[in-house]
């Protein structure tokens, strides 16, 4: 396996990070997950814009131009012989001495890895996470940061209950998102998804469903989810129907062809 690290393609076994990297010591960084379809990264411009927005907010310089990142992805795909894949871009503030305050002149780490797409998944059984809440009062909820432990805890809770994923509520008790996806409900022909202010990550697929399919941002409670005709999860790797919430089946199972139709408009 080949990875791209700070400008060079190298064997994954030879790729090594500095143990003082603030991505490792403090979760000080961001990432993007991008679907590769027929050899091309889907919506790369949007992913890089989100990455740059987060990096600017955190004060982490992005050490490569967008074109260089696009070329790095192409070279990685060629090296691995993949045309359908999942790419991950990780940006951290890089090595630094001990302490919370970032160095004045960070030397960021930029890592790009590629792997196979996960297999198509059956409709998801989800739980409403009780172990933790998503912090809508933190600006980090708007960025895809490396601080993923709340989501990890929620996913672990789901698996303990025999479910596939967990829906995170925010501190106010409204639905924010799933552990690695945005959430949409369809009721009375209206597609709704939690607003950013409720702690939803501004997902790329989420934006496209708003722009191209008229989905509306609306605060959602667990009761809204249970009452929905149908619901699904969206992330950059695709859409996934929700079959049941806390063990209770949703009233209607959306037709797979509806999901496929929605997904097509997102390419």
Residues lying near a second copy in the complex (CB under 8 A) are found at: 3, 5, 12, 15-21, 23-28, 31, 33, 58-59, 86, 88, 90, 92, 97-102, 111, 113, 115, 118, 131-133, 135-140, 145-153, 155-156, 159, 171, 179-180
Name which of 110 and 215 has its Cβ closer to a second copy: 110
Nearer to a second copy, 117 or 243 (CB): 117
Indicate the residue among 95 and 123 with the shorter CB distance to a second copy: 95
Give least dist CB 262 to a second copy, A: 23
Distance CA 141, CA 12 (A): 31
Contact 5, 51 (CB under 8 A): no
Min dist. Cβ of residue 191 to a second copy (A): 25
**Could you tell me the smallest distance in angstroms from the CB atom of residue 182 to a second copy?**
14
- What are the backbone angles phi and psi of residue 190, rounded to the nearest 5°? -110, 130
**Smallest separation (angstroms) from a second copy to the CB of 103:** 12
The number of residues in the chain equals 267
CA angle 258, 263, 267 (to 5 degrees): 150
* CA 107/CA 180 separation, integer angstroms: 28
Pick between residue 135 and residue 207 the one whose CB is nearest to a second copy: 135
Pick the closer one to a second copy by CB: 19 or 188.
19
**Beta carbon of residue 255, minimum distance to a second copy (angstroms, whole number):** 28
Distance CA 200, CA 167 (A): 11
CB of 17 to a second copy, least distance (A): 4
- Of 57, 83, 87, the closest CA to residue 70 belongs to 87
* Nearby residues of 244 by Cβ (< 8 Å), 6 or more positions away: 125, 126, 250
What tokens appear for 141 in the block? Answer: 């909820």
Long-range Cβ contacts of 101-105 (<8 Å, 24+ apart): 102/22, 102/28, 102/59
179 or 230: CB nearest a second copy: 179
Calpha distance 64→66 (Å, rounded): 7
Which is nearer to a second copy, 67 or 100 (by Cβ)? 100
Q: What is the DSSP string of 228-256?
A: -SEEEEEETTEEEEEEEETTEEPSSPPPH
Helix (H) / strand (E) containing 155: helix 149-160
Q: State the minimum distance, in angstroms, from the CB of residue 72 to a second copy.
A: 14
């Amino acid at each position: 396996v080949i990875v791209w690290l700070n400008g060079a393609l190298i064997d994954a076994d030879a790729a090594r990070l500095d143990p003082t990297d603030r991505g490792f010591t403090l979760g000080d960084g961001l990432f993007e997950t991008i679907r590769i379809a027929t050899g091309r990264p889907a919506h790369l411009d949007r992913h890089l814009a989100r990455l740059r927005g987060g990096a600017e907010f955190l004060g982490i310089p992005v050490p490569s131009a967008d074109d260089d990142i696009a070329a790095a992805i192409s070279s990685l795909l060629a090296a691995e012989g993949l045309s359908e894949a999942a790419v991950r871009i990780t940006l951290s503030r890089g090595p630094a001495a001990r302490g919370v305050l970032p160095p004045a002149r960070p030397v960021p780490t930029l890592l790009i890895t590629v792997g196979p797409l996960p297999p198509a998944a059956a409709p998801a059984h989800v739980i409403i996470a009780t172990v933790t809440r998503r912090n809508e009062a933190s600006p980090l909820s708007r960025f895809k940061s490396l601080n993923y432990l709340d989501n990890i805890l929620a996913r672990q809770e789901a698996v303990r209950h025999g479910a596939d994923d967990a829906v995170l509520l925010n501190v106010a008790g409204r639905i924010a998102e799933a552990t690695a996806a945005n959430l949409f409900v369809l009721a009375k022909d209206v597609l709704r998804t939690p607003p950013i202010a409720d702690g939803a990550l501004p997902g790329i697929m989420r934006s496209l469903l708003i722009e191209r399919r008229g989905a509306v941002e609306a605060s959602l409670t667990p009761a809204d989810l249970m009452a929905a005709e149908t619901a699904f999860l969206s992330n950059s790797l695709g859409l996934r129907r929700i079959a049941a919430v806390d063990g209770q089946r949703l009233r209607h199972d959306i037709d797979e062809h509806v999901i496929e139709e929605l997904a097509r408009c997102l390419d």
